Amino acid sequence: MSSSSQNTTAAEPSNPSTPPATRVLRQFRVVFNAVKTHFRQVEREAGVGGAQLWALSVIDRRSVSLRIQPDGAEVLRSAPLPFAGVLPDALSALDAATLERLERDLGELIALLEADESSANVLLSQM
């Protein structure tokens, strides 16, 4: 893909002549591609998947007798941040009003899709 076609594609989501549903779909693609890219980077740099990395990152915060082994500590040192993932990190940076609006709007979308909400507990790295 040439750089001019990349620039056109990148600019299209905000093009007012593009239907709103198409612009939002493209925004979802950007979000999910960013998440997918992050998980690929985690696996490439740390050698473990996102879910495993997250689990390693929380072991020392637990009040059980688990200890991270030297190999696990090395994985954490070599892994890119954030351990929980780019989407949870970005969402936590949003203000309360934006999060409430996003939650309400995504709830409407989920209802229209008649999606199985039990998948909400499946980590994106496991999809």
If you compute the radius of gyration of the chain from its CA atoms, what whole number of angstroms results? 18
**Residue 113's pLDDT is what?**
79
Q: Between 72 and 127, where is the model more confident?
A: 72
> Residues 52-107: pLDDT tens digits?
887 888 777 656 677 888 998 888 888 877 776 788 888 888 999 998 998 889 88
Domain interval for residue 17: 3-126
> Residues 73-86: pLDDT tens digits?
888 888 877 776 78
CA–CA dist 126, 82 (Å, integer): 17
CA–CA dist 16, 38 (Å, integer): 30
- Residue 48: is its pLDDT beyond 80? yes
- Residue 9: is its pLDDT beyond 50? no
Domain count, the chain: 1
Joined tokens for residue 9: 């594609």
Of all residues in the chain, the percent with pLDDT exceeding 70 is 78
Dihedral (Cα; 101, 104, 109, 113), 10-degree rounding: 160
CA–CA dist 96, 92 (Å, integer): 9
Which whole number is the average pLDDT over 17-38?
Answer: 77
**Residue 98's pLDDT is what?**
92
Tokens 């600019």 correspond to what residue?
11
Whole-structure pTM value: 0.50
Biggest CA–CA distance in the chain, Å, is 59
CA–CA dist 109, 30 (Å, integer): 17
